Amino acid sequence: MFRNLSGMLVFLFACSVSGCGNEFGKSVAVTGKVTLGGKAVERARIIFNANDKKLPAELRNITAELKPDGTYSLENVYLTEYTVMLETTEGMDATKSAEPAPSPLTPYGPGSPLRAKVTAEKTQFDFALPATSVGGAPGGGPAIPGSVPM
């Protein structure tokens, strides 16, 4: 019994030192900031949706609430490319009966043009979205098709 236990402890220690991942590779923490027209986006959620369909469905979507300063932190993000979506959490109160106003984040929902290619070296993704114009269209032009250094 002790021989098996000590072998397991050696394996776990070696794994923790070498950064063993699972069959899908190593996961990392990802951080960043989202701004809209130069102002921090708040009361919103960021979703990283893996484009690699080899990952099991339960590992493909990673979600976090944006902090009031527009920053976010995601844990257990695998090294692959993601479509990045944003959705407002404002107006999601089930007790409200009024139809919520269109969100300036609507273009960044399903079909979002935002992408993040997570690598061991690249784990910070800031998204500077253009200010909205009438009707909620971002900046009157195309959305930013990727992350932008801030």
In a domain, 143, yes or no: no
Dist CA 131 CA 110 (whole Å): 20
User: pLDDT by residue (tens digit) across 15-47?
Assistant: 443 344 556 788 999 999 999 999 999 999 999
- Can you give the pTM of this predicted structure? 0.70
- Reduced to 3 states (helix: H, G, I; strand: E, B; else coil), residue 91 is coil
Token representation of residue 33: 């900031």
Split into its structural domains, the chain has a count of: 1
The CATH number linked to 116 is 2.60.40.1120
Distance CA 35, CA 48 (A): 17
In tens, the pLDDT along 68-89 reads: 999 999 999 999 999 999 999 8
In a domain, 129, yes or no: yes
Whether 42 is in a domain gets the answer yes
The answer to whether residue 11 is domain-embedded is no
Domain with 130, as residue range(s), is 22-136
